[in-house]
Amino acid sequence: MIWQISVALIAIAFVVLVVFLVKTLRSVTELVAQTNQTIQQVQQQLTVVSQEANELIRHTNEVSVDVRNKLQALDKTFYTIKNVGDVVNEISTSVRQTSATVTSTMRNKVEKELNSPKSIVNRIAPLVPVALDMWKRIKQVRSTENKSVAVK
């Protein structure tokens, strides 16, 4: 009878063990099913994200090419502006030197004219007729005064 009780206990223990194993396997099966669903959702999201990332990379490449082309065009523009600035600087320097030379030359000529004896005569010459006219008038006034003093 001990054998029978032992076999019965072993059978009951085996049944309990199988029941717990079945519950555990069901939990694991549910966990695996949820994991599969999660993996599928992640794969779908990764597909969408990778498509968006590819599109973003493509747009970034287009923008990069566009920026590079515009920078090259700007390089030419800035080079031209630099050349224009250099030319304007040279012209300005040349005009400044020419202006200084003309000013110096004119100043020297004016000083020579002012200091020359001919210049003094040229300045005084227009005043001679005025001075002579004034002299004549003074003589007339004096002669008129002398006549009026003699008559009295």
Cβ 113 vs Cβ 119: under 8 Å: yes
CA distances from 110 to 115, 118, 122 (A): 8, 13, 14
Cβ 76 vs Cβ 84: under 8 Å: no
For the chain, give the percent of residues with pLDDT over 70: 91
Predicted confidence at residue 66, as pLDDT, reads: 94
- Interatomic CA distance for residues 151 and 148, integer angstroms: 5
Give 88: exposed, middle or buried? Use CB within 10 Å, 0-12, 13-18, 19+. exposed
Which tens digit of pLDDT belongs to each residue from 12-61? 999 999 999 999 999 999 999 999 999 999 999 999 999 999 999 999 99
Domain layout of the chain by residue ranges? 2-116
Predicted confidence at residue 151, as pLDDT, reads: 61
